[in-house]
Structures are given as C-alpha cells and as structure tokens.
Amino acid sequence: MVLTRLLGSKWTHRFSVVTVLVNGVRALLRGNKRIGALLLGIALLAYRWSPVGIVLTLVLHRYGDEITDWALGRSDSTAVP
C-alpha cells in the first residue's frame, strides 16, 4: 500500500521522466541516436507509468555499456581476454 502511494505520487512521476530524459539527451550528445530516440520515447511512457522509468534507469546503470555497444554495432571481439 505504501509502495503503491510512492510509485503513484506526482514527484515520483516527475523524477522518473527527468532521469529518462537526462539519459536520452546524454545518449544523443554522445552520438548514440538509437538509444537516445528510444529513451526519449520511453520518457513519454514514464510519466504515465513511473515504474517503467525507474526500471529503465536501473537497467541502464547496470548494463549501459553493453546496450551502447549493441546500439552502435560494436562487437565484443575487441575486448581483451
């Protein structure tokens, strides 16, 4: 019940949108158009459903490098064993 109120609050929605927008703009500034456009689109959903933005932000912080490599078409063969 407390979690429902927390996730449904106005500030949680705003925080969710702002974090996804910041990540999207950062991706665009780095030249990653795919991820940037995806994040800006998800920011629209994040205002309606704040858990989407929160989960996406956590996933990007955990797997950001792998997602960026995929979006830019880089392979893992450049990694040193």
User: Could you tell me if residue 68 is inside a domain?
Assistant: yes
Alpha carbon distance 44, 70 (integer Å): 23
Q: Per the structure, how many domains does the chain have?
A: 1
Q: Which two tokens stand for residue 30?
A: 């780095």
**What is the pLDDT, as a whole number, of residue 38?**
83
pLDDT mean values, one per 10 residues, the chain (81 residues) = 66 81 87 83 78 77 74 61 48
Domain assignment present for 13: yes
Structural domain includes residue 81 = no
Overall pTM > 0.85? no
Q: What is the pLDDT of residue 75?
A: 67
Question: How confident is the model at residue 47, as a pLDDT?
Answer: 75
Residue 24 lies in a domain: yes
Whether 50 is in a domain gets the answer yes
Q: Give the contacts of 30 (CB within 8 A, at least 6 positions apart).
A: 68
Residue numbers of the domain that contains 59: 9-73
